[in-house]
Amino acid sequence: MKKKTNPDLFTISDVKIWNPDEIIENGMVIVENGKVKSVYKNSDGQTEGEIYNGNGLVLMPSGVDAHVHLRVPGQAHKETPITGLHAAIKGGYGAVLNMPNTRPPIDSVDVCEMAMTELKPALEETGVKVFLSACITKGMQGKELVDVDSLAKWGVKTFTDDGLGVESDEIMREAFAKISKWNIPVSQHAEYCGHGGVLAGGRLQRQQKIPRYPISAEYDMVARDIRELRKHPKARYHVLHVSLGKTVQLVMDARLEGLKVSCEVTPHHLHFTYNEIKKGETSFKMNPPLRDGYDRHVLIKALQSGDVGFVATDHAPHASEEKGENFEKAAFGTTGMETSLRVLISMLQRGELTARRLVEVYSTAPSIYLGIEDEFGSITAGKPFNAILVDVDHLPVEIEDRDLLSKSKNNVFKGVQLPGQIQHFFNPLFQFELI
């Protein structure tokens, strides 16, 4: 990965420009002082400054990953700020949202400041933007609400106890009531704990007699949350890493009532079912688990229609000893930033996404969810230039360890052939050559 500081003025010519509202087949973009100066619908316009020939590749907005475990602060044995942000660049992500199940948990302004201090050198080195989620409850104990006002004033983008579902009805009512005035999402890891499940089903689960992860753990919590949300209809509620078709239906029905409900899906839930899990491949132990072919089909259809808003990776790096080969003992989670766009490109090639919808789910919709659409989500005159140059027609290549820049290599797509290749990454400060 080669890095270069951007010139003050440059032109990228001969590119297909993919935006959520328009596809330009033969375009050109002029960038001045880190912002888009002009977007032309053909490459015959007057170039300015240093010239880059895009050779007919796709120029699209860089991704926004609204669900990332950077493990900051305090978990450098899993991921460091620089390895995490290099993984983001490899996957084309210009902005990421850090989850708060850290050491210590991000439940106060002091810990927010601690996290940003730890992140600062990597932010300056890469130019990638990192935003923070805060816990819903102090210490992620599920017993007492955090100081919502101080954290919202500081600038957290969501409140979540991700990794644990908030089981108390009273706490969820209080969270909706207090967070609603800030127009910040309450993002739920939908799981009633204590079920002891590991895999949702499939051949391996039955053969190895691995404890089964029940549907009710996710579905019942979302149903409960929507009941409580009706008492505070101004609140925003978001379901993290939705895995069930039944859960998607709950979300759709709630929106028909006028409630502010949204959800996201991971690349691995779009690509795999539980029948593809093999013995010892504990990267496939994630929470929520992979489901059956019907659920996968519903998730794809809901992503197409917009009933599932966007794709988020739930990038969850672990030290190698935390995974091992024993499903019952292994930690939950897979990494995903480096491979996410290539999964979406595979869906594009199968006709499961259009080019415009791909841009929406990868960049535009998560930027709106986080309230950062002034910086991300489209290549538009006047906005910061956050973009990637992609060969969407690149033939499928098998994912190997060398493709993964995260400190952790527990990625479910290792050994899978995925199409597409990100060749160049741009943000207002830097550009990175990725091939």
Count of H-run helices and E-run strands, the chain: 12, 19
| Per-position b or e across 411-426, b if 16+ CB within 10 A of its CB | bbbbebebbbbbbbbb
Which phi-psi region, left, alpha or beta, contains residue 209 (left: φ > 0; alpha: ψ -120 to 50)?
Answer: left
Beta strands in 196-302 (DSSP E): 236-239, 260-265
Active-site residue list: 314
Residue 268 gets which letter from DSSP?
Answer: H
425 contacts 388 by C-beta, under 8 angstroms: yes
Q: How many residues does the chain have?
A: 435
In the chain, the N- to C-terminal Cα span, in Å, equals 7
The two tokens of residue 414 are 């290792």
| Burial status of residue 22 (CB atoms within 10 A of its CB: 0-12, 13-18, 19 or more) | middle
Tokens of 329: 């003992």
Distance, C-alpha 260 to centroid of its chain: 20
- Look at residue 64 and give its three-state secondary structure: strand
How far is residue 58's CA from residue 55's CA, in Å, rounded to a whole number?
9
Look-up of token digits 């190997």 = 400
